[in-house]
A and B are shown apart, each in its own frame.
Chain A
Amino acid sequence: MRLPDPAEQKLIARCKAGERSAFDELIRQYEKRVYNLAYRLSASYDDAGDITVDTFMRVYQAIGLFRGDANFSTWLFRIVTNVYLDRRKKTRNKVTVSLEEVIELEESTVSRQVESDTPGPEEEAETNERNSALDSAIMTLPDYQRLMVLLYHTEGLSYEEIAEALSLPIGTVKSRLNRARLLLRERLQARRELF
C-alpha cells in the first residue's frame, strides 16, 4: 500500500472545505487518468467524457466522507467504476462487436490520439498499430476482467488496492486477473504478426 502524499492530503482537506480552486487542482491532477480509464472501459470517446464529468460530480458530492484511510486514487477509481457500471446497466442492450470489427473501427482513431515519444515514422506506425490492436482486444474482455486489467496495468494499482476498490477478496482479484491475461493473449492470436 502506498503511503498517503501529504500535499495531496492538504489539497483534499481544502476540497472538503468547499474551496473551488482546490477542486480545480484536484481535477487537473486526475482528469486525464479518469478519462483514459473511462475510455478504455466504455470504448467510446463521448461516453468517456460523460463518465469523467459524472465521476468528478460524485467526488464533489462525496469528498466530505472520504476518510483518507484508502488512497485517494483507489477511492476515485472505485467511483469511476460505479459510474461506468451504472451507465452500463442503463444501456445493457448495446450490441457487442467482434474483435475484428473493433479493430477496423478503432484503429485509426486510437492511433491518432495517442501521445508518442516521437520515434521514427515506421517504428511509430508499428507501435501504434500494436497498441491499438491491444486496446481493441482489451475492449472485448468482459466488464470486470477489463476493469482489473486496466486498474493493474494502466493505472498501476496493486492487487490489494484493486481488491479494495472493487470490494473483492485478493485471491479473487489475482485469479481473475490471471484469467483475463490468458484470455487477452488468446484474443490477440488473430493479430500475431504484430508481436
Chain B
Amino acid sequence: MVTMQCEKIGEQFSAIVEGSLDAAMKLKVEEHLQSCTSCTSQLAELRKLWSMLDELPELSAPAGLHGDIMRSLDAAMNDARPQGGLIERLKAVFASNPRAVLAGAAAIVLLAIAPMFARNSTEASLSILPSAPTTSDVHYSASAIWLQRQTGQVQVTILAPAGQTGVANVKVDLIQNLPDSVYTSVNSVVTNVIPGQLRVVRLTGANTDDLLHYAIMVSTINRAGKSLQSTTVPILTTAVRPAP
C-alpha cells in the first residue's frame, strides 16, 4: 500500500542510491523499507535504472558533421574580419549604459556601432550619430524604445543605410545577455526596409525590470535567411510608458 510516508521516502530515493543521507534520515528510511515492499521494489528498480543510465552508450557522430561545423566556422571567421565579431559588438552595447548615453542627447538619437577591426580587443567603442546614417556606415540605423511594462514590448525604428537602393529584408532580434556572456535571441521578427522610409516593428518578451541585459540586433538577411550584416543597439529607457 502506498502511503503518505511512501511519498516522503520516495523524495529520498536518489539520496539513498548515492548514500548521501544523514544518519537520522537513513534510520527512518531503513525502518520504512523493512515494512514496505512497494518502496523496496521501486528502490531496487531505481538502482537498476541508475546503472543503465550511466552506461547508456554514445552514438557515433555522422561522418559529415565535423566538416559541416568547420564550414560554418570558416564562413563566420570570414564575416568577422571586415566588421569585428558580433560578440564584440554585443559586448559594446551591454558595456555602454543606455541611460548615460541618453542623458546628453535630446529626444531620440540614432545609434550606430563603429566598426571594430581589433577583433580580440576587450575595449569597444560606441559612436553616437546625431541623426541620419553616414555614407561610410553600412549598418542600419536603429533605435529601440521600451514601450510597455506589462508586455515587455520594445519598439524599434529602423532606417535604411545610405547606399541601399532597393527593398531589403531585415531580421530584428531582441537579444538577452545571460550570465557567462551567452547571448540568446528572445524573440525576432523579419520585415523589409525601404530606402527613405522609417520602419517600425515591435517585439515582446523583455524583462522590463532588467532592461540593461537586453539589446536589439538588426541584421540584413539574404534570400536563404542567412544574416549578413548586423547593427546592435541598446534599449533606450527614457521613452518609457509605464502601464496605467
Chain B interface size band reads 35 or more
A134 CB-CB contact with B under 8 Å: yes
Interface size on A, residues (CB 8 A): 57
CA distance A153 to B13 in the complex (A): 16
A-binding residues in B (CB < 8 A): 10-11, 13-15, 42, 45-46, 48-50, 52-54, 56-62, 65-66, 68-70, 72-74, 76-77, 85-88, 91, 119-120, 122, 178-185
B14, B49, B76, B122: the one within 8 Å of A60 (CB): B76
Task: Output the nearest chain A residue to B81 by Cβ-Cβ distance.
Answer: A18
User: Assuming A16-B120, A35-B59, A188-B49, is B87 touching A27 (CB within 8 A)?
Assistant: no
Give residues of chain A (97-142) contacting chain B, Cβ–Cβ below 8 Å: 110, 113-116, 130-131, 134-135
Q: Report which residue of B49, B57, B62 has the largest number of chain A beta carbons within 10 angstroms of its beta carbon.
A: B57
A182 CB-CB contact with B under 8 Å: yes
CA distance A53 to B68 in the complex (A): 7
CB distance from A87 to the nearest CB of B (A): 11
- The A/B interface has a contact count, at CB < 8 Å, of 141
Residues in chain B near residue A134, CB distance under 8 A: 49, 52-53, 56
CA distance A137 to B74 in the complex (A): 38
A184 CB-CB contact with B under 8 Å: yes
Task: Output the nearest chain B residue to A46 by Cβ-Cβ distance.
Answer: B62
A4 CB-CB contact with B under 8 Å: no
Interchain Cβ contacts under 8 Å between A and B, 8 examples: A35-B59, A35-B62, A53-B68, A61-B87, A65-B180, A134-B56, A153-B50, A195-B48
